[in-house]
Structure 1
C-alpha cells in the first residue's frame, strides 16, 4: 500500500563512510534519519521540490533603494553513521584488552587509547562545527548535557560497582588508597593522581588500582570542558561567521598540536608517567582529530586510489605499534605519532566518497558489535580483571584472564543495553537542564556510595599513634634471631596485633623521609641540618646509599643516641652507591641526577672524613647498557671506584642487600592469604651482583656484613617474626623490624 501523501524532495544519498555520529569515541553511533524507501510508485504526480522565490531586485523608491535581504547562512553537510569509526573503536578496545590480559604479542596494546583520543577530537569537533553552521552558535549547556547523559551513567555504574568490589575483596593495605582513587574518578582528575603516585618511588610495586582505566576518560573530560569554550571564544572573535571560524579554528588546533607534541616529547624524556597521564601531553592527539573534523569537506574529495593506500597504511600503523611496542618503548612522545597518524589516515580514507577495503572491513559485523559496546567494555574489563581473582582466591593467568574478558563482553553488552541506551534515548533528558541533572545525579550516587564505605561501613581503622621504636624488643644476637626465624616458620596465622598494623604499613617510613633528609629522584643538592644522634659529637657516622640504605636508619639512629655518634644520612631514592650509570624507570631515562648527587657525597666525605661510613644499596639497579654480561663488569668496576673514593682514614662497613619478594608484598599477602603461604614469597635476588660486590668489598678491606642471616633460615624468609611485620613492601624492611636489629648490627660494625 502506498502513502497517501505526495513524495517530498528527493534526499541525497550519503556515500558510505562519509558521516560522523552524534556521540564521542566511546559512544554507540546513531544512523542519520533518512526517508524510508518507497516500495511502489505513488498514484500522485511528482511535485517539484519547493524553492523559495528569488528576492526582488532592489528598486529606487520614493525614500531610496529597497533594503537587501540578509545573506543566507552558509551550510555544512550533515554527517550520518560512520561504520569505519565504529570499527576503529573495536580495534582500539581490542588492543587494550589483549594487552591487559597479558598476551605478549600485544604488549603495545596501550596505543588503543591513542586511537580513542584521535576519534574523540574528530567526532566532538565535527558536531561543534556543524552546530555553528546550523545555528551560528555553540550551546555549551546543550553540549555538556549530551556528554553528561551519555558518559556519566555507565561510568558511575562502573565506579559504584568497583567501590563495592574493592571494599569486599581488596587488601586492607591498599583499600584507603583505592577509595581515594574513586573520589578522583568521580571528579575526573584521577589521571593527575596517578601521576603523583607513579612518580613516587615507594609506590612502584603496589597492586594496580581497579580504577586505572579511568585515567583516559579523565583526559577526555578535561578536553570536553575546555575545547567547546575555546571554539565559542573563537566564534565570538570572528563575529559568529562560520566561514571565518574555520581558518581560526584550524590555526588554533594546529598550535595546540605543535605545542602539546613538543611537550609530550620533552616530558616523556624527563618523566614518562607525567607524559603518559597528563592532559597537556595528550592534547595534541585530540587536536589531531579536531583538525581532521575541521577539514572534513576537503577530506571527502580524497581520490579513491589514495583512500585505498591511506586506509591500508593507517590500519597497518595502528596494528604494528600495538604489536611491536612494549613497556620499554618511550611513550607517548614521538612514538605516539605512529598510532595517531595511522588513525588519522584511516579516518581520511573513510571520508572519501569512493570507498576502500579497510573501511569495508571495519564495517563488518564483528567490528560493529565490539565497537558498539566499546565504551562499556573499556570501563568494565579492568575491574573485572583485578577484582574477580581476589574474590575467588585465584592467581592471575592468561587462561583466567581470557575467561574474564569473555565475561566482560557479556557485562558490557548488558551495560550498553540497559544503562547507556535508556539514558541516551530518554526524551526528557534531551533538554540541557534534565540532561546535566541526570549526569550529576549519577555522579552523586557514586559519591554517596563512596562516602558510605569510607564512613559508615569503613574497614580502615582509625590512624594509630606512631610506633615507639624505642620500645621494640631487641634481638640479642645472631643465634637468637635464627631461633626467632625458625619459630616464625611454624606459625600459620598472623597475630591479631601486628606492628606496624597492616592498614598503616604504607605510612611506615624512616623519619628521614618526613624530614626531607632522604632525597627524591629529582633532588641533587645535599640537605642541610640533617644530623641525628649527638649533633655535637666528634664521632661522625655517615649512612650512604639508596632506599635500601635508608631502611637501616632506625637501627643506626638508635645506636647513635646510645653511643653518642653524630649520624648523617646521605640517601637518595633509587640511587645506588655503586659508581655506575643507571636508568630510572619513573623518569624513563638515564638517572643523571644520581651520578651528580653521588659525586657531591664523595666531595663532602673527602672534605671532612667521618669515623665510619655505612654503605648499603639495592642490587637491582638498572645499569645502563648492561646487556651481554656487561652489567657484571660494570658492577665490579663501580664498586671498586666507590670504595676507592672513601677517605683513607675512614672505616667502611658494607651491608649486603636484603630479601626481595617474588610476588606480593608481605602486607598484601598477609591480608589475602594464610601466613604459611607468604613465607616462601621472599628470598635473596640478584645473587651474581651480590657475590661480585662482596668480593670487591673484601678485597679492598671493607667490613662486609651479610644481612641475610637476620632474615632467612634454611632458604626461607618469614614475613612475620613474633609480632613484627618484617617488610613494609616488596623489598624494604618495616621500621620496627629494622629497629629490632640495632644490637646485632652494632656487633657487626667495626669498633669506633
Structure 2
C-alpha cells in the first residue's frame, strides 16, 4: 500500500467510467446520468494520486521541491487549456460572436471559472455562455493544489497531524455548506455550493486521506478493514441513498460528504482488496485504460463540441453518436499531439535540487 513509483492499475478504468458519466450527463440527460458524481470521482482520485506522488518524491529525495511541483502542474494542464481557448474563441468569433466575453475566457485561463459561474447562477443569468464553465472543476483542484504542497511539506514528518488537518478540512467544508444553507436558504436553488472551492475541496481531501493512511501501519490496518466485503456494499448503499433522497438541504450539504466518503471507500477496495477480481478485470480492460488516459482531453473537448454544435438541431439518436465520434477524434489528437509530447518535458522536472527543496 505504501507509495512507490510506477503505474497504478484500475485508476484509469475508474477515470474512464467517470468521464462516461460526465459525457452522458451533458449529451443524453443529467437526470439519468449523474455527471456531478463523475466529477467527484475525479476529485477523489486526483487527491490520492497527487499525495502519493509527493510521498514518492519525499522518499526518493528526502524533500519536496515546490517549484518543480508547480511547474509540473502547469505543464500537465496548460498546453491543452491554451489550445482549447484558441479553438473556442476562434469558433465563437466566426459563428457566435455575441457569445464572446473576455471575462469568461479569463476565468478559464486563470482558474476562477467556478466563482464566476457561481455568481451567474446566483443572479439568475443563465443565458448563452461560453464552454469555459467546464473549467469550474479544474479551478477547484488548482485552488487546493496551490496550498496543499505547502501543508504537505509542513507536516511531512508528522503524518498524524496531516491526517488531523485533512479531517479538519472535511469537517470545515461540511460546516460551511450547512451554515451557508441555513443562513441563506435561497442559495440552495443555485450552483454556489456545487461550484465554489470552499464547499467542494473536501472531495479531494478524502483522496488525500487514503494516500496518507497508506503510509502508516495503523492506517494500512484501517484500509484493510475497509476492504471487508460488507463495507463497499454499505458504500454503494449510501450512494444509492444520496441519489434517492431528494431533499434539497440534504443534497446541497451532507450528500456531498457522503458521496466523497463512499467513493474513497470504493477506491480503496478497487486498489487494495484481495477480492473484486471481476471489477478489477473490467477496470483494466485496454479500452477503459485508454479512455482513462484520454479523460482530461475528453472532459474539456466534449463540452466545447456540445456547446458549439449543440443538440437542439439534431435528434439525440443522431447527435449523441456524432458528438461522441467528434469528441473521440479530437481528444485522441489532443492527447497524442499535445499531452504526450509535453509529458516528456514534464518528466524532466521530477528531480529535486537540494538547495531549492523544502
C-alpha distance after superposition, 1:391-448 (max 9, x if no partner): xxx6254231342123202211111111101100137853689xxxxxxxxxxxxxxx
In the alignment, is the contact (CA less than 8 A) between 1:303 and 1:354 conserved in 2? no
- Counterpart of 2:151 (choices 226, 230, 245) is 230
Counterpart-to-counterpart distance in 2, 1:83 and 1:89: 11
* 8 Å Cα contact 1:118-1:343 kept in structure 2: yes
Which residue of structure 2 aligns with residue 347 of structure 1? 267
Distance 1:322 1:164, change over 3 A: farther
Q: Which residue of 1 aligns with 2:342?
A: 423
Give the distance between the partners of 1:407 and 1:325, measured in 2 at CA. 36
Q: How does 1:631-710 map to 2 (within 5 A)?
A: none
What is the CA–CA distance in structure 1 between the aligned matches of 2:61 and 2:14, rounded to whole Å? 30
Counterpart for residue 197 of structure 2:
279
Question: Distance in 1 between the 2:225 and 2:344 partners?
Answer: 36
Alpha-carbon distance in 1 for matches of 2:335, 2:320: 22
In 2: Cα distance, 1:104 partner to 1:427 partner: 36
TM-score w.r.t. the length of structure 2 is 0.85
Query: Could you tell me which residue of structure 2 aligns to residue 412 of structure 1?
Result: 331
Indicate the residue corresponding to 2:286 in structure 1.
365
C-alpha distance after superposition, 1:648-698 (max 9, x if no partner): xxxxxxxxxxxxxxxxxxxxxxxxxxxxxxxxxxxxxxxxxxxxxxxxxxx
* 2:15 aligned partner: 89
Other structure's SS at 2:132 match: coil
Cα distance in 1 for partners of 2:202, 2:93 equals: 37
Q: What is residue 356 of structure 2 aligned with on the other side?
A: none
Note the residue ranges of structure 1 that are not aligned, 5 or more in a row.
1-17, 19-75, 236-241, 434-752
**Contact (CA 8 Å) 1:107, 1:325: kept in 2 or not?**
no
> Are 1:103 and 2:23 an aligned pair?
no
Please identify which structure carries the higher helix content. Answer: 2
- C-alpha displacement at 1:233, in angstroms? 2.9
For residues 79 and 316 of structure 1, what CA distance do their matches in structure 2 show? 34
Are residues 1:198 and 2:121 paired?
yes
What's 1:633 paired with? none
Matched, 1:261 2:174: yes
Q: 1:137 aligns with which of 63, 74, 94?
A: 63
CA distance in 2 between counterparts of 1:326 and 1:183 reads 35
Q: 1:406 to 1:338 in 2, by over 3 A?
A: farther
TM-score using structure 1 length: 0.42
Once the two structures are TM-superposed, the CA of residue 246 in structure 1 deviates from its matched residue by 0.7
Instruction: Give the alignment of 1:296-311 within 5 angstroms.
Output: 296-297=214-215, 298=217, 302-303=223-224, 306-311=227-232
Task: Summarize the alignment of residues 314-325 of structure 1 with structure 2, pairs less than 5 Å apart.
Answer: 314=235, 320=240
CA contact (8 A) 1:261 1:333 kept: yes
For residues 107 and 347 of structure 1, do their structure 2 counterparts lie closer, same or farther at Cα, with a shift above 3 Å needed?
closer
- What is the match of residue 255 of structure 2? 335
CA distance in structure 2 between the aligned counterparts of 1:326 and 1:95, rounded to whole angstroms: 20
Per-residue deviation, 1:102: 2.7
8 A contact 1:114–1:285 mirrored in 2: yes
Distance 1:327 1:165 in 2: 41
- Larger strand share, 1 or 2: 1
User: Any residues of structure 2 matched to 1:506-585 within 5 Å, and which?
Assistant: none
- Cα distance, 1:105 vs structure 2: 5.6
Residues 143, 427 of structure 1: CA spacing in aligned structure 2 closer, same or farther, 3 A cutoff? closer
Name the CA shift for 1:317/1:103 in 2 (closer, same or farther; >3 Å): farther
Shift of 1:170: 1.9
SS of 1:213's equivalent? helix
Structure 1: distance between partners of 2:246 and 2:304:
23
Please state whether the residue corresponding to 1:216 is helix, strand or coil: helix
Distance 1:310 1:423, change over 3 A: farther
**Secondary structure of the structure 2 residue equivalent to 1:106:** coil
Count of matched residue positions in the alignment of Structure 1 and Structure 2: 342
For residues 215-254 of structure 1, what are the structure 2 equivalents within 5 Å? 215-235=136-156, 242=157, 245-254=158-167
Work out whether residues 101 and 402 of structure 1, in 8 Å CA contact, stay in contact via their aligned partners in 2: no
Q: CA deviation at 1:311?
A: 4.6
After superposition, the CA RMSD in angstroms is: 3.0
Deviates more, 1:122-131 or 1:379-388: 122-131
CA contact (8 A) 2:131 2:303 kept: yes
Match of 1:127 among 45, 49, 53: 53
**Which gives a bigger RCO, structure 1 or 2 (Cα 8 Å, sep 6+)?**
2
